[in-house]
Amino acid sequence: MLIGAHVSPAGGPAKAVERGIEKGARAIQIFNQNPRAWKPTVYTHEQVADYRRAAQDSDVDALLIHAVYLLNAASEDPDIRDKTLTSLTASLRAGDALGAVAVVLHPGSAKTGEVGPAIERAGALIRQALDDSEHCALHLENTAGAGGTLGRSFQELADLIAAAGGGPRLGVCLDSCHLYASGYDIRTPKGLTAVIDEFDAVVGIDRLGSLHLNDSQGGLGSNRDRHADVGRGELGEAGCAAFLSEPRFEDLPVVLETPGPDRQGPTREELALCAQLRRKGRRRKR
């Protein structure tokens, strides 16, 4: 398991590697554009080369690119759809250039409309973005279930993958906070095992490509997307240990998106805690 953190790419993607090293990260996740603006970032050949050198000389073995939250692949608004397609395609092309494991995408929202047609709209846009890029995978992230967000259940994730063409580049990123908030009780090894068994039956374990570890401020089924630091929320240390030691997660990158004690994101100490919890969880499974 490659335990890591979301970090800033300010100054270029090579700087993200430096920030990952400072935290003791084996995996890093970045936004490849300003998360508050629509304009995509296109990395220069020099920036790409700098990143690849920095990553090669480090213990950072996996990069995830998180598509910005402005995107809504299910939107009915032509302008939003055009901007979403442009941004998502740019993220996938950045992933191609940098050798990212995947781009992680919140699939979008039906708003107040019907879910079925929204899934079809999202699938069509995702398929176009994949057609307009080369080989970087796209991982659809499960959502906490607020409003009309798509990906609230394993069935919705499976339907989104099918609507997007079902190709081999399509995968899933499971977020622990979102799982719990959308009603999947993963606080114990037994509960997590049952949940991942269900995921395997509905989506297929071969589609699982990355993970987000976040504790949850909200309760089970609260539909609240509110991250807490590891061990400081409803999952607690026991629930986070169960997540970190699930055997089917063994080879995956797991990225923390926690607020941190000073609201500056995950710390080196929190990543070290995750390593301890993983060892503790694995001992309990023996």
Q: How far, rounded to the nearest angstrom, does the alpha carbon of residue 18 sit from its chain's CA centroid?
A: 21
Q: At what angle do helices 154-163 and 189-202 cross, to 10 degrees?
A: 30
In 3D space, the residue among 154, 164, 146 whose CA is nearest the CA of residue 203 turns out to be 154
Is 139 marked as binding a ligand? Answer: no
Is 234 marked as binding a ligand? Answer: no
- 62-66 vs 27-30, strand pairing mode: parallel
In 3D space, the residue among 80, 64, 243 whose CA is nearest the CA of residue 171 turns out to be 64
Which residues lie below 8 Å from residue 102, measured CB to CB, with a gap of 6+?
64, 65, 95, 136, 137, 138, 139, 171, 173, 209, 210
Following DSSP, what letter does each residue of 223-271 receive, concatenated? ----EE-TTSSSSHHHHHHHHHT-GGGTTSEEEE----TTSS---HHHH
User: How many angstroms separate the CA atoms of 185 and 15, rounded?
Assistant: 37
Is 175 marked as binding a ligand? Answer: yes
Is 132 marked as binding a ligand? Answer: no
- 215-216 vs 227-228, strand pairing mode: antiparallel
Place of tokens 């037994």: 190
Residue 44, amino acid: T
Q: How far, rounded to the nearest angstrom, does the alpha carbon of residue 73 sit from its chain's CA centroid?
A: 16
Is 6 marked as binding a ligand? Answer: no
Q: Residue 216: helix, strand or coil by DSSP?
A: strand
Is 215 marked as binding a ligand? Answer: no
What are the binding residues? 66, 106, 141, 175, 178, 212, 225, 227, 257
What are the binding residues for Zn(2+)? 66, 106, 141, 175, 178, 212, 225, 227, 257
